[in-house]
Amino acid sequence: MKKFRWGLIGASTIGREWVIDAMRQAGGEIASVFSTDSQRGASYASEFGIPRSTTDLNDLLNSPIDAVYISTTNDLHAHQCIAAAKAGKHILCEKPLATNVADARSMVRICKSANVVLATNHHLRGAATHRAMRDAVKAGKIGRPLAIKVVHAGYLPVHLQGWRLTNPAAGAGAILDLTVHDADLMRFIINDDAARVSATVQNSGMAIAGVEDAAMGVITFRSGILGQFHDGFTTKYVQTSVEVHGDSGSLVATNCMTQAPIGEVLLRTSGGEAKLQLQHENLYVRTINAFTSAIAGDGEPLSTGEDGVASLAIALAALESARTRSVVNIAA
């Protein structure tokens, strides 16, 4: 059978550390990589055994590939996605989909009219921990869900301490980097949409002035469920977690807001405490398999373009809330 052929838009760290390997584990091949820098593109291609590199996006888009993976800085996703859709390529796009909601909505609309699949790489939906929590909530194991709390604070590795801390135009800051993931994950686990957001940010000096390197906030969901998040780049010894509390039970996942297939989930009810059985698997492989299946007409991506619009809207509302010190409503 012919292998699924990928074109990479962006010679990125996330590609290097996770996604290239996941594409190959999922049975795909990488045909070419686009970089704005010919030397960086060529050395990236040679490091990963990718046959071609190019500095011309149209050259990549007109080559025989099935889909592109966009992992450039956040400000570039929208126009690269739209160009790919117009060239008839399916798109797995990194989060946040864009740096404003209007662009993200255009991406979804143009992909629809071009009849290509758009997926958002919210890989945390692929975690066994989070899937088990979603299933348990759906099965009524905690009764009526009332609150969900995500701790996604940690320490930004030194090799990533670049544009995320220094370049607002590229989409810097903890909220567009981390809160956007939390927002998607909360929507996934409790199967609800956000109604309003209230957030506060911190600048501890790691990021430049005006860019938050940590944030806390509350999301009120349409059903009334309260969501709380703590995100940041600056704390080295925090354990990540997701908790969902219902009127007859609680789910507590630890060590789960991560790229690696690890973590555990406890269910606590009147019957005591039990660990949920988990089958850990590579989160990115699962995301890619769902994407390629969706292209083949089987199901939907784990996180669709519409999901990417929703998570971005929540993250941008959090930024606005922090800036204006007010509660910000999310349009339905």
DSSP string across 32-57: EEE-SSHHHHHHHHHHHT-SEEES-H
Q: Looking at beta carbons only, is 108 or 312 nearer to ligand NDP? A: 312
| Strand 194-202 to 328-329 pairing | antiparallel
State the minimum distance, in angstroms, from the CB of residue 58 to ligand NDP.
15
Query: Closest approach of Cβ 227 to ligand NDP, in Å?
Result: 20
- Least Å from the CB of residue 19 to ligand NDP: 8
Residues within the interface to ligand NDP (CB under 6 A): 10-14, 35-37, 40, 71-74, 94-95, 121, 123, 160, 162-163, 177, 259
Residue 8's Cβ-side half-sphere holds a number of Cα atoms within 13 Å equal to 32
Nearer to ligand NDP, 246 or 261 (CB): 261
DSSP 3-state assignment of 255? coil
140 half-sphere exposure, CB direction, 13 A CA radius: 0
Q: How far is the CB of 184 from ligand NDP (least distance, A)?
A: 10
What is d(CA 157, CA 234) in angstroms, rounded to the nearest whole number? 10
Could you tell me if 296 and 81 are in contact, meaning their C-beta atoms sit under 8 angstroms apart?
no
Residue 35 CB, nearest approach to ligand NDP (Å): 3
H helical segments located in 50-147: 57-61, 77-86, 101-113, 128-138
- Closest contact distance (angstroms) between CB of 170 and ligand NDP is 8
Decide whether 225 or 315 has the Cβ nearer to ligand NDP.
Answer: 315
Which residues does 236 contact at the CB level (< 8 Å), separation at least 6?
154, 155
What sign does the dihedral 253-327-96-208 (CA atoms) show?
negative
What is the nearest approach in angstroms of ligand NDP to the Cβ of residue 96?
7
CA–CA separation, 40 and 54 (whole Å): 10
Rg over CA atoms, the chain: 19
- C-beta of 49: minimal distance to ligand NDP in Å? 18
Residue with Cβ nearer ligand NDP (241 or 250): 241
Tokens representing 103 are 């662009």
- Between 13 and 269, name the residue whose CB sits nearer to ligand NDP: 13
Please, which residue, 99 or 292, has the CB nearer to ligand NDP?
99
Longest Cα–Cα distance of the chain, Å, equals 61
Cβ-based nearer residue to ligand NDP, 56 or 298? 56
Shorter beta-carbon distance to ligand NDP: residue 72 or 250: 72
